[in-house]
Amino acid sequence: MKLIKNILMASAVTGVLVSSTFANADLVAKGEKIFNTKNLGNCLACHAVNGKNIDGPGSMGPKLQYLSAWPEQALYDKIYDPYTTNPISQMPAFGKNGWLSDSEIKALVAYLKTIN
């Protein structure tokens, strides 16, 4: 009986982890679309990305690299309103100006966290 209980518990935990992985993959895919879509984030217009094949000029802003090491909240804040940490930033305040919603910024952060 104890063995069956342990097997059921392991199955439940595995199921949660697998569904979480799929949800995260969907969020990353949504963020990548926002990054690459001209009328959404249009990030590729200004940023080149380490390890990614980006079809855009990417010459105005800094090359994005090592973002997997950044805290999610720091990335979120930078996208929401970059002027809080850099008052002379050329990057628009995507969240503060209402260009991207909270869920869109979170998806974009999920994508940026894949950049090494």
**Residue 20 pLDDT grade (very low, low, confident, very high; cuts 50, 70, 90):** very low
Domain that residue 76 falls in = 2-112
- Report, as an integer, the average pLDDT of 94-99: 97
C-alpha torsion sign, points 65, 70, 72, 77: negative
- Asked whether the predicted pLDDT for residue 19 surpasses 50, the reply is no
CA distance 66 to 58: 16
Q: Which CATH number fits the domain that encloses residue 40?
A: 1.10.760.10
Contact of 32 with 111, CB cutoff 8 Å: yes
- Which two tokens mark 91? 């990057």
**pTM as predicted:** 0.77
* Residues 49-95 pLDDT 10s: 888 877 778 888 999 999 999 999 999 999 999 999 999 999 999 99
Total domains in the chain come to 1
CA distance 28 to 108: 7
